[in-house]
Amino acid sequence: MPLQPFILIALALIGLGDTLYLSYYQYLNLIPTCALGGCEQVLTSVYSKFFGVPLSYVGLVYYSYLLCLSLLLAWEPQSRALRTGVVLYTGIGFVLSMLFIFYIQLTLIGALCLFCAVSAAVSTFAFATILWLLNSRRTADAV
C-alpha cells in the first residue's frame, strides 16, 4: 500500500485548516493577525477576490475536493484515471498558487500573506507527492 495518498490526505487537511481560518475571518470581514505583516495588504487588495468571491473560499473548495480525491486514491491506488486526475488537479493548483504568490503578491501588490504562502506550500507539496507516486509506480512497473 503506497504512502503517498495518506500524505495527500494530511496535506489536504492542512490546506483546509488554513483556508477555513482565512474564510472565517473573511466572512466576519476581519483581517487575521499575520507574522509577516503583509496580510492586510493582500487580503484587502482587488486581487483577493475572483468575480466577487474571496480566494479563501475558492481555496476551501479546492482543498475539500483534494481531500475527497486523496481518500479515493487511498482506497484505490491502482486507478490510472484517478492518478491522472489528481496530477492534473494538483498541477493546476500548483501553477495558480505560484502565479498568485510570485506574480500577484510579490510583484503587483508588493506584500506577502503568510496564510497564502502556507497554502502555496501545501499545493507545491501535494503536486510533488503525486509526482512521487507516479514515479514510484513507473519504477515498480519496470521491475
pLDDT tens per residue across span 22-60? 999 999 988 888 887 888 889 889 998 899 999 999 999
Rounded Cα distance, 83 and 131, in Å? 9
Given a cut of 70, is residue 139 above it in pLDDT?
no
Which residues, 6 or more positions from 23, have their beta carbon under 8 angstroms from its beta carbon? 54, 56, 57, 59, 60
Q: For the chain, what is the mean pLDDT?
A: 91
Picking from 3, 137, 141, the residue whose alpha carbon sits closest to that of residue 70 is: 3
- Kind of pairing between the strands at 49-50 and 53-54: antiparallel
Domains in the chain (CATH in brackets) are 4-142 (1.20.1440.130)
Question: What confidence tens digit (pLDDT) does each residue in 109-130 have?
Answer: 999 999 999 999 999 999 999 9
Output the pTM of the full model: 0.89
